[in-house]
Chains A and B, each alone.
Chain A
């Protein structure tokens, strides 16, 4: 094989004495030298190369053999025999015969082969280029030798997504990408770009016709070319008129954004259609779609616009729900996006009002949520109460809550026009202050608004809810229900009286309760509440004891019960 190639190099096809081989390219004959480059072709797009053999001698001659043999430098067989005449083929002086060689690379890369005609030979070389794919809707399809991008309104742009995928086993070195033709431009990655086997690279061709008519262009990738074609269609300019008198031109696909407006509200934008084509333009249809979008007034169609003339119409955005709304409007098939965001109607700022005077322990109070103005919005909010203890070592008081629902959280509702929030059927809610000194923090959350009210529960002397005394046999049992909101009570003093309201000797009887109360408050979760029983054994006439008083004190001050008469 080496010998034959060497001979081929020494005896070029075109140099044979009697038979001369030329390349026929576009009807023009060109001499075939030792090396002929057929150029770049897309993989999958075969190229048929035509050769012509002429008898330039004065005697008849025979065309005996035509051969195409892959060279060692070629990545694969890219050149193949095409259409040959019947061999041997006698040629009279001056006669010719044509044959073809097909260049059909199966993958991207460089290819070469030896062409032999009788005893002469030439080297053929060419390059396969990975095909360009059009990507639309996630689907790839070959661009082909000719690709029509379609109709594009003058002034609009169309981007065609293209992709080169390396389906071969060798890397592709992407060295050149170009597009030549008015109205077309390219957006591609920096070159050179190496596409690994199995990988791909994307780029786009933009078609932006500056005038009506057909626009051809040539796309070249690593020397392989494809024809692109687009058509510009005369169309009016579409302009959004701003309040300040300026205009915003819209191209097909652009969005007219209405911004954010309250649900139930409405806003309109004026759109101007202006003929700048230089001739007449007919506007046939205007269509507005989208639940939140509508035409404000009649649409000016059909209309015949002379150059420079314009018509206007208004698009109205009136969202009935909160959230992003999208729609579109079309002018004779040109589609523009409509977009806007409906927002919730804001609630007025709530004000938390609690019943005056309810700032002490062991109380129930009413809480209301009021608005300075009738609410324009409807919805639900939450109310919570947090307790910040003012007693060292005490973190919580489980008796602080709303009731119902016996929880530190409650829901309320607001209807349009309300000046007060509703708690179920009521316009207030009851809360308990518990029996621990500290601070109540009420928080109302309504929409985006949060309001707080802080209500201190001041340290207070021991409170008696009830004091009862019962005679039982030879004893008197005193039952006390009360609370100590600072947890510092340590003793109680009992004074008994006779029927003449005279204190009985020996006078006040002190009972040390410090340890008992300390244990109670440390081991129970009842806030500062307590139930205490103290039994006084009596020898003698228990009935002579007719009343009693109880005194106690904590760090906030002293407490004395009312005079209690025994039953």
Chain B
């Protein structure tokens, strides 16, 4: 029986459909002027494409989907790079979260505490807000937060329906800026190092060519680290961490 299924599968696979090769698009980035641009190529060989939006305050991408925040709007781009939605948003920056499959998961607007959750292909208001006395550093899919409590950074998981805290975990040694990844790992900055703390508490470090001021999801394993004068892409996957400079920085 097993052999029959596999033979059948391979027989169909011989009729593979290959699409025409395309220009690789790694992600999206916010350039030095605040314009949103597709990031063409791949990390070691990238180029900023034409501007798609101006006045962008925050951007993040899972490598397929992308979220961008202007002063008044939240914009959603689908894996084809097409604008899939545009909805009003409060002033200020935003924190974005993606699911493991790359789809959007959440958007948090720290200035107002408004939390939007992705459901059924669109954003909906969560109906509750994270605690206002905590500085939210990052948000991750359904639904976890990195928050600063005094000098310490905590991971706080909340129930989607009502925001009830379901789990709290102190993360000693973790500092800001920080990013909570969909797989539960935490990226944070320690001096000039970017540190990846895995869910099992193991850590990997890589020295950055400057002091990081912000982190955001770039694509898959890649995160974007904003430095005072440029942006770099960092990945901890593979034999050793990799750091590549991204276009669109400023000197």
Contact = CB atoms under 8 A, between A and B. Distances in A.
Nearest to A541: B5
A498 B247 CA distance: 41
B9 A545 contact: yes
Interface residues of A, number: 57
A248 interface: no
Interface string B153-181: 00000000000000000000000000000
A254 to B, nearest CB: 53
Interface of A (DSSP majority class)? mixed
B20 A403 contact: no
Contacts of A526: 23-24, 40-41
A496 B220 CA distance: 24
B19 A533 contact: yes
B8 interface: yes
A399 B25 CA distance: 13
A432 interface: yes
A529 B10 contact: no
Contacts of B45: 361-364, 399, 432-435, 465, 483, 527, 529
A539 B9 contact: yes
Given A509-B16, A539-B8, A531 B229 contact: no
A498 B6 contact: yes
Interface string B17-44: 1111111110000000000000011111
Contact of A509 (B4, B13, B46, B48): B13
A99 B27 CA distance: 115
A381 B47 CA distance: 25
A405 B32 CA distance: 10
Contacts of B15: 537
A289 B103 CA distance: 79
Contacts of A517: 21
A532 interface: yes
Contacts of B72: none
A467 B7 CA distance: 24
A531 B251 contact: no
29 contacts: A362-B45, A364-B44, A399-B45, A399-B47, A403-B230, A404-B247, A423-B251, A425-B229, A425-B251, A432-B46, A465-B44, A494-B16, A505-B7, A505-B10, A506-B10, A511-B16, A519-B20, A520-B21, A526-B41, A529-B23, A531-B24, A536-B16, A537-B16, A537-B17, A540-B4, A541-B9, A544-B2, A544-B9, A545-B9
B249 interface: yes
Contacts of B40: 526
Interface in A476-516: 476, 481, 483, 494, 496, 498, 504-506, 509, 511, 513, 516
A404 B13 CA distance: 45
A466 interface: yes
A346 B43 CA distance: 40
Contact of A516 (B12, B20, B47): B20
B124 interface: no
Interface in A510-564: 511, 513, 516-517, 519-520, 524, 526-527, 529-542, 544-545
A424 interface: yes
Interface string B38-78: 00111111111000000000000000000000000000000
Interface of A: 361-364, 398-399, 401, 403-406, 423-426, 430, 432-435, 465-466, 476, 481, 483, 494, 496, 498, 504-506, 509, 511, 513, 516-517, 519-520, 524, 526-527, 529-542, 544-545
A524 B23 contact: yes
A539 B16 contact: no
Contacts of B42: 362, 465-466, 481, 529
Contact of A504 (B6, B47, B249): B6
Contact of B248 (A406, A426, A541): A406
Nearest to A506: B10
Contacts of A538: 9, 12-13
Given A364-B44, A504-B10, A424 B17 contact: no
